[in-house]
Amino acid sequence: MLTSLSVAEFDRDEFISSRFAYRAGEHVTFLAPTQTGKTTLKFELFQHVVSKQLKAVSLIMKPRDDVPEQWGKKLKLQRVQDWPPPTWRRKLTDPLGWMVWPKHTFKPREDNKRLKNVFERAINGCYKRGKVILDVDEVYGIAEELDLDEELKAVWSRGASMGCGLWGGSQRPSGIPLLAYSSATHLFIGNTPDRRDRDRYREISVQGIDYDFILEVIEDLGNHEWLYIRRRRPVMCIVRAS
């Protein structure tokens, strides 16, 4: 429990089913070190948000990743290696969303070139289409390694008006564009031991909530616990581990 501050706490299931309210076009950012459950939390939220009217397009950068693979099957997201999917497949299956997961040759230069081409089409396509969730599980990799930061910035800064919400995750807030959290309506922040990362949270501007308050809450979080901040009609709470 917090020693000097008081903030509402909710069990994970209660928060997801009863407390989290999402509107098309809102951006969501998850910030926490690796192995803290960012991807799992995101897909659990997907279960209550994604629909035939608001589909998801997930960009998967790793050659193999058990968590999105398992959740993709659970949510019946169609897996494709290229973008856009063939028209016949979109009409035939009409899924809740797509997992864009290009095949890797394990030759980094070749793979990065292909990943960039495929993901660039997917990002721009989602931005143009609107009424979609663009899921970028590794913001740093796609922005920096694939040099798609301008495409992501366009969605963060202008996608809301199109109903295109960018859901992004990163291990370190200090290595990604500031727009990842300055433009996010919903922020999920885990505990981090790195002082530089915590200092970056000074740039989070939420009316009525100051940095020192945020920092003290974050430092007291346990594993798989999250500080949730909503900018629209500002609220903050702790999401306890399940």
In a domain, 120, yes or no: yes
Pull the structure tokens for residue 225. 């616990």
Band of pLDDT at residue 110, cut at 50, 70 and 90 = very high
182 pLDDT above the threshold of 90: no
Band of pLDDT at residue 1, cut at 50, 70 and 90 = very low
Residue 136 CB-half CA count within 13 A: 36
Nearest to 152 by CA among 130, 117, 177, 128: 177
Q: Which structural domain, as residue segments, surrounds residue 63?
A: 9-239
Contact call for residues 165 and 140 (beta carbons, < 8 A)? no
In a domain, 3, yes or no: no
Q: What is the CATH number of the domain that holds 102?
A: 3.40.50.300
Band of pLDDT at residue 234, cut at 50, 70 and 90 = confident
Total domains, the chain: 1
Amino acid at 64: R
Q: How many CB atoms lie within 10 A of CB 130?
A: 15
In a domain, 112, yes or no: yes
Band of pLDDT at residue 173, cut at 50, 70 and 90 = confident
In a domain, 4, yes or no: no
Over residues 31-87, the pLDDT tens digits come to 988 888 899 999 999 999 999 999 999 999 999 999 999 999 999 999 999 999 988
Element (H, E) at 110: helix 108-129
Element (H, E) at 59: strand 55-59
In a domain, 2, yes or no: no
In a domain, 1, yes or no: no
- Max Cα–Cα distance, the chain, nearest Å: 59
- State the pLDDT at residue 171: 85
Band of pLDDT at residue 4, cut at 50, 70 and 90 = very low
Strands 28-31 and 164-170, bridge-based pairing: parallel
In a domain, 56, yes or no: yes
Among left, alpha and beta (phi > 0; psi -120 to 50; other), residue 84 is: beta
Which residues make Cβ contacts (< 8 Å) with residue 74, sequence separation at least 6? 43
Residue 35 to residue 11: CA distance in whole angstroms: 20
Mean pLDDT score, 8-12: 95
Range 75-84 burial, b when 16+ CB lie within 10 A, else e: bebbbbeebe
Band of pLDDT at residue 207, cut at 50, 70 and 90 = low
User: Both ends of the chain: CA-CA distance in Å?
Assistant: 16
- State the pLDDT at residue 199: 74
In a domain, 226, yes or no: yes
Rounded to the nearest integer, the mean pLDDT of the chain is: 90
